[in-house]
Amino acid sequence: MNIGILGAGQLGQMLALAGYPLGNRFTFLDTTGGHSAAIGEIISDPQNRRLGDFLERVDVVTYEFEHLPVALIREIEAHRPVYPSSRAIAVCQNRVEEKALFDRLSIPTPEYRVVESAAALEEAARALGCPAVAKSTTEGYDGKGQAVLKTPDDAPRAWDEIGHSQLIVEAFVDFVREVSIIAVRGRDGEVRFYPMAENRHADGILRYSVAPLPDLDDSVQTTADGYIRALLDELDYVGVLALELFQTRDGRLLANEMAPRVHNSGHWTMDGAVTSQFENHLRAVQGLPLGDTRARFPTCMANVIGREPDSGEVLRQADVHLHRYGKAERPGRKLGHVNLVAQDHAELARRLDALASLLPDAPAPRFSFVT
């Protein structure tokens, strides 16, 4: 089966690497002109003139990037099956619709307001209490389009800084940790859940994800499974969905945002789970049975950001698995990731310290389960 992928970055490349062994071939439609994927045919189409060429090569279409025009997805849907659907992408690319869906499905979120002026932003910050976080309702990712208000007086500055006509303002959550749940739903409605990961960000960019978590109560996983299943079923979703959450001091989960695709916080599955998120996404979109989502070993994913480490030094570490994306160095850019696999979490924490010291500008890894 020839699979079309909208976008041609590292997620597309990792999908292709997982798909060749399944017998798939890949065609990428790159509407941005900034592709880095090197496997499969890339149709570079910044002028939107080559959709026909793309469609005639592919049997089914998926994407690695959700900030695509919904009209484009709808046009493709008229000719080829697209998974996840245009409805899923429409919800995920607008924080107002996303929050409304969370509300409708009784998935708790931080308290929030939608505002459309600097004055309204100031009023919302006063009502919610500060610190508060303002986010553009569209086009935000990796911490872009966001600002923290320490006091309501920061509103004019934040409004100008973000520069969007509509923002969501959220009450600051005093969370213990950021976590995520990744699940996959097949064409037949079957759902499988990966063990939750704990995620550590720096400067708004994911740095580390660890899964499974030794100190996660089963009931928390079950709660998260229930939330993501509600989303998957409501959207009649096919493929991998990621849901980022805050875990509060009293153990509750508050949904932050979701991504309708394979997700950075699921890269640990490439070496730590029976079936990777990439393979499971591909199995789902082509109607194949889903693979086992069980974790084999405690695994930590460490992102390589901005500058490359010495590959030799990294590969000299025990049970590390390097995943480079073939991109040029640039501050803040995701260039690759390293998966570290260990027999237990104590060993994982110890070896992670050694690994982190080899990654340029990597913050010290700190996880809630390390005492």
Q: Which residues contribute to the annotated binding site for ATP?
A: 95, 135, 140-146, 170-173, 178, 201, 256-257
Question: What do you get for the CA distance between the two ends of the chain, in Å?
Answer: 48
Q: Which is nearer to a copy of itself, 258 or 314 (CB)?
A: 314
The answer to whether 91 and 101 have CB atoms below 8 angstroms apart is yes
Tokens matching residue 188: 């037949």
Name the residue nearer to a copy of itself (CB basis): 166 or 317.
317
Spatial neighbors of 190 by CB under 8 A, at least 6 apart, are 289, 290
Using CA atoms in the order 227, 230, 231, 236, what is the torsion angle rounded to 10 degrees? 160
- Helices 155-162, 118-128: axis angle to 10 degrees equals 120
Name the minimum Å distance from CB 16 to a copy of itself: 8
At its nearest, how many Å lie between a copy of itself and the CB of residue 295?
A: 13
* Structure-token pair, residue 50: 């080559």
**In angstroms, rounded to a whole number, what is the distance separating the alpha carbons of residues 207 and 184?**
23
DSSP assignment of 160-228: HHH--S-EEEEEPP-EEEEEEEEEEE-TTS-EEEPPPEEEEEETTEEEEEEES-TT--HHHHHHHHHHH
Smallest separation, CB 332 to a copy of itself (Å): 20
The binding site consists of: 95, 135, 140-146, 170-173, 178, 201, 256-257
3-state secondary structure of 104: helix
Backbone angles phi, psi at 53, to 5 degrees: -60, -40
Nearer Cβ to a copy of itself (43/96): 43
Please, are residues 303 and 264 in contact by the beta-carbon 8 Å criterion? yes
**Residue with Cβ nearer a copy of itself (99 or 323):** 323
- As measured in angstroms, the least distance from the Cβ of 188 to a copy of itself is 11
Residues near a copy of itself (CB under 8 A) are: 13, 17, 20-23, 25, 38-40, 274, 283, 287-289, 291-292, 296, 311-312, 315-316, 318-319, 321-324, 326, 336, 341
Residue among 80 and 324 whose Cβ is closer to a copy of itself: 324
* Helical axes 10-19 vs 277-285, angle rounded to 10°: 70
Closer residue to a copy of itself (CB): 78 or 328: 328
- Between 226 and 287, name the residue whose CB sits nearer to a copy of itself: 287
Shorter beta-carbon distance to a copy of itself: residue 247 or 303: 303
Q: Which is nearer to a copy of itself, 187 or 252 (CB)?
A: 187
Give the shortest CB-13-to-a copy of itself separation in angstroms. 7
In the chain, the amino acid numbered 334 is K
- Shortest separation between residue 287's beta carbon and a copy of itself, angstroms: 8
Query: What is the enclosing helix (H) or strand (E) of 244?
Result: strand 239-248
Least distance in Å: CB of 58 to a copy of itself? 15
Minimum CB–partner distance for residue 39 and a copy of itself (Å): 5
* CA distances for 112 relative to 95, 97, 224, 322, angstroms: 11, 13, 21, 39
Q: How far is the CB of 350 from a copy of itself (least distance, A)?
A: 17
Secondary structure of 266-310 in HEC code, one letter for each residue? HCCHHHHECCCHHHHHHHHHCCCCCCCCCECCCEEEEEEECCCCC
What phi and psi, each to the nearest 5 degrees, are found at residue 250? -90, 15
